Structure 1
Amino acid sequence: MSARLLTAGLILAAGNTLAAPHGFTVEDMVRMERVGSPVLAPDASRVVYTVRATDIEKNHGHTELWMLDLKNPHAQPQRLTNSSANSSEPEWSATGDAIYFISERSGSSQVWRLPLLGGEAMQVTDLPLDVGSF
């Protein structure tokens, strides 16, 4: 009987050791999505922000725009952009009906406008050099 208990104890101990969580690594940190660039709407009812995700295997990061309704406590974040090109540096229009942002969708970093009432983002600038900020 004691041999069975000893064997069972060793199996459980070995199982727990094998299933033990690993410490927080650099790879874990790189894989974390990063939230940044929060900007309040002119009426402070919504916030637009960026979410950056990194694919370690592809050695590539990607940034998209998201929005959250601050007046609704049950609101879920809404993804605003879904492009293979990065979207960053969000800014609200003065009336709060559109978001301006920088994207590489056209091959270089330019300013784009996304209407929030529907429709696709449209390129606003077409400069010979990349737009870094606006």
Structure 2
Amino acid sequence: MSYNDYGIGSHPTAQDIVDGRRVEFNASGHVVYAPATRLGVGVSRISQKSGEDIGVAYWNKPGTHHIEVKGAIDIGDQVFAAANGTVSVLPAAAGDYVKVGVALEASAEDGDVIEVLPVESGKIVNVAA
């Protein structure tokens, strides 16, 4: 097994992956989008077709991550895991949500990519009914 001390790795994809999305590994060890219910292992660093190798910036990498958003986000907002590897502000609906970090940039709409500081990444936040 190799050793990685710089926080970025290369792995094969199981689907087309877009740059700036939270990703995880499937049962075969291939990269797929992380769902809203899980943090994933890191963020995709490039867009890549299924079956190709992709760069993944792991959560333990020093520094920040650039992540695609779902909806408007303000600077300083806490951001949470959303569908297909994106992030969003804390939903109003009751449930458990996975914190990703804090937005260092604002976004106006779906598809924007913002800089996110991974603070308390993986923490579960509950919105009561």
Give the TM-score normalised by the residue count of structure 2. 0.30
Give the TM-score normalised by the residue count of structure 1. 0.29
Specify the structure having the higher radius of gyration (Cα): 1
Considering fraction of residues, name the structure with more helix.
Answer: 1
